[in-house]
Amino acid sequence: MSPGRLLLMLALGAAALAPGLSFAEEGRSAAPARDEELFRRALQAELDRALTELRLPGEAAPWYVSYDLIDGMYATYFADMGAVMQDDLDVHRVLRVEVRAGDPSFDSANFESFSGGGVVTRSLPLDADEIAVRRVAWLATDRAYKDAVEQLSRKEAALESRRSSKPLPPAMAPAEPVKTPPATPPVFNPELVGEAVEHLSAVLGEYGELEAGQVVGRDWQGTRLLLSSDGMALSQPTGLTVIRVEATLRHEDGSRMRDARWWVVTDTTQLPPLAEMEAEVREMADWLIGLKTAPVVEEYLGPVLFEGPAAVELFSQLGGAELMGTPPAWSGMGDLGEAPEPRPPGRVGRRLLPVGWRVVDDPTEPGLPGSFVYDHDGVPAQAVVLVEDGVVRDLLNSRIPASAESRSNGHGRSLAGDRKEAMLGAVRVTPSRERSERALRRAALRLARQTGQDRVLVIRRLEPPAMTEGFDVFFSGEGPPPGLTPPYEAYMLYADGREEPVRGLSFVGVDRRALRDIAMAGQVQPWVGALDVQPGPSRFHIGAIGGIPVAWAVPPVLVEEIELVGNAGGEKREIPRPPAEAPSTSSPPTAPSPQD
């Protein structure tokens, strides 16, 4: 038995003896002992007390209070080049408290400040003790209310010098109360993840040419309980299983080349067979080693074919923000003569894709990483036709309104203490016509010939934002930002079918308009799970196993023109040999005297 497996079994045994924990009889699954009725009683009592007793003299009272309890178990594994470095199993029982001070027409929320803004997260005790739960909830609610009062004061001060004829939207869009019985948590079976992480890491350890090879995995299964002052009493299961493999190779010129594979599913039963995952990891390692002889293309301007995972990142990174209806939080900055008018990033009526294309987000489709019945606001999930005939027809909304008419369509989700903003769930992108892979490649080569080239660039994988190591800042007057993360896997396709891997490429000035330049699409691929958050800088910091699950089904696409530049980068790691000494013709040096 490996040391990692022994540590896991010891952790499981210790957890089984810990108060408040019990194990499922089926297999070696584990789940914390839960008494949701106790949590409901305790939290409802504190919610009622906050609405009636929580008030600072001379300050606005809380008009909205919500408690989100995330209760379950997680296991995290990390291995490096065949060595298990970490296996951690623990209970996750965290309470998110949100308090809004003011009234439904104007409150403390949706304003950026350095304080907590009325949202506080706290860990709840593992023992099912009602008094202990109430104490944690009360202290967290008190802190959240004080932060909300402070933020309301800042928001009012920022508005004093603003003038506008348009009224501000209400503080929160209405929603029908939902009440459900306690949910049953999914089966928690972390050993499958631990075995996969250990095995895949051992596979990477066989490749001595690699500089690094890391595997991280997590299994999380539990429930989400929402209680709020507007009548929500919702309990639903939640779960996520993710394994991510990353390898690095250092080229002779000093450049650092990376590649990755990942699997994001709802639970361990949806993981592919271990042999299939191993085959993908070996394919990744062989690709990296093959890049040792791959050339660096100085620049490329012409058609680009995005295959499989690269097509998912293309639509996610360029099109995701264009489908969001949640306005950004107001910062209090800007023109002093105008009141803030929240404008969501998405615009209904904008052409996003070619004629005939359709985009639908349907989180009600079961069994997908981005599937759910109710969003984090307690609103029932809805299928939304976002793009019809290439034009944006609707946007995803949470309960954060952009206007008085705004209503949630069941897509509000968040991480920890973040705002519950609209976010993609299960997105299917359908072209006007699906073509075969052969037709797609022929069309790509034909477009390349029109630009005087005998080859076309094909990109198989792009770096996910969560795996990005560098974060560039651009100032006015500088060149355009890349717009897309750099390719992990790219090659030149020639007319005779030859494929030549290339490296060191990065994009130049790509934005959403590239989606309108799609010349042809292949067949829609099977669903792919991913981890993400709302579009913005935060998606670059969620880490390898962080984020919110999303599912994509997209076709490979041929874009008419994209610009990329190549750069090997890095410095050679070998220290050059010193030059050979020339034979001396002078007399040998004399021995030093005692005075020297």
- What H or E segment, with its residue span, contains residue 445? helix 437-450
Question: pLDDT tens digits, residue range 236-269?
Answer: 999 999 999 999 999 888 899 999 999 999 999 9
pLDDT at 397 over 60: yes
Question: pLDDT tens digits, residue range 463-493?
Answer: 999 888 765 655 555 566 789 999 999 999 9
Q: 314, 258, 307: which is closest to 510 by C-alpha?
A: 314
Q: Give CA torsion, residues 544, 549, 552, 557, to 10 deg.
A: -30
Classify 68 as helix, strand or coil. Answer: strand
HEC string for 471-516: CCCCCCCCCCCCCCCCEEEEEEEECCCCEEEEECEEECCCCCHHHH
Beta-bridge mates of residue 305: 458, 558
What DSSP character marks residue 25? S
Mean pLDDT of the chain: 87
Please state which of the ranges 56-60, 161-165, 271-275, 429-433 shows the lowest mean pLDDT.
161-165
- The CATH T-level fold of domain 3-285 is PmbA/TldD fold (3.30.2290)
Residue 85: pLDDT band (50, 70, 90) is very high
Residue 528: pLDDT band (50, 70, 90) is very high
589 vs 129, which has greater pLDDT? 129
Residue 590: pLDDT band (50, 70, 90) is very low
Classify 237 as helix, strand or coil. Answer: strand
Q: For the residues 99-118, what does the mean pLDDT come to?
A: 88
Classify 523 as helix, strand or coil. Answer: coil
The number of beta carbons lying within 10 Å of the beta carbon of residue 285 is: 22
Beta-bridge mates of residue 324: 396
Task: Output the pTM of the full model.
Answer: 0.88
Question: pLDDT tens digits, residue range 487-521?
Answer: 999 999 999 999 999 999 999 999 999 999 999 99
Q: Give CA torsion, residues 9, 13, 15, 17, to 10 deg.
A: 180
Question: pLDDT tens digits, residue range 365-384?
Answer: 999 999 999 999 999 999 99
Q: For the residues 184-207, what does the mean pLDDT come to?
A: 95
pLDDT at 351 over 60: yes
Question: pLDDT tens digits, residue range 10-68?
Answer: 333 333 333 333 333 333 334 444 689 999 999 999 999 999 999 999 999 999 999 99
Residue 330: pLDDT band (50, 70, 90) is confident
Sign of the C-alpha dihedral computed for residues 358, 364, 367 and 369 taken in this order: positive
Q: What is the pLDDT of residue 29?
A: 38
Calpha distance 171→536 (Å, rounded): 23
| Structural domain boundaries in the chain | 3-285, 299-325+344-566
Residue 352: pLDDT band (50, 70, 90) is very high
Calpha distance 245→212 (Å, rounded): 11
CB 175 within 8 A of CB 378: yes
Long-range pairs of 132-136 with CB within 8 A, sequence gap ≥ 24? 133/38, 133/39, 133/42, 133/43, 134/42, 134/45, 134/46, 136/95
Q: What is the pLDDT of residue 541?
A: 84
Calpha distance 138→95 (Å, rounded): 11
Whole-Å CA distances, 412 to 71, 325, 341:
20, 10, 21
What DSSP character marks residue 319? H
Question: pLDDT tens digits, residue range 448-461?
Answer: 999 999 999 999 99
- Which regions of 163-232 does DSSP assign to beta strands (E)? 212-228
Structural tokens at position 456? 């076309």
Q: What is the pLDDT of residue 12?
A: 34
- Helix axes of 3-17 and 191-205: crossing angle, nearest 10 degrees: 160
Residue 567: pLDDT band (50, 70, 90) is confident
Q: What is the pLDDT of residue 164?
A: 61
Q: For the residues 534-541, what does the mean pLDDT come to?
A: 84
pLDDT at 563 over 60: yes
Calpha distance 383→137 (Å, rounded): 35
Residue 337: pLDDT band (50, 70, 90) is very low
Beta-bridge mates of residue 259: 247
Question: pLDDT tens digits, residue range 217-243?
Answer: 999 999 999 999 999 999 999 999 999
Calpha distance 145→317 (Å, rounded): 36
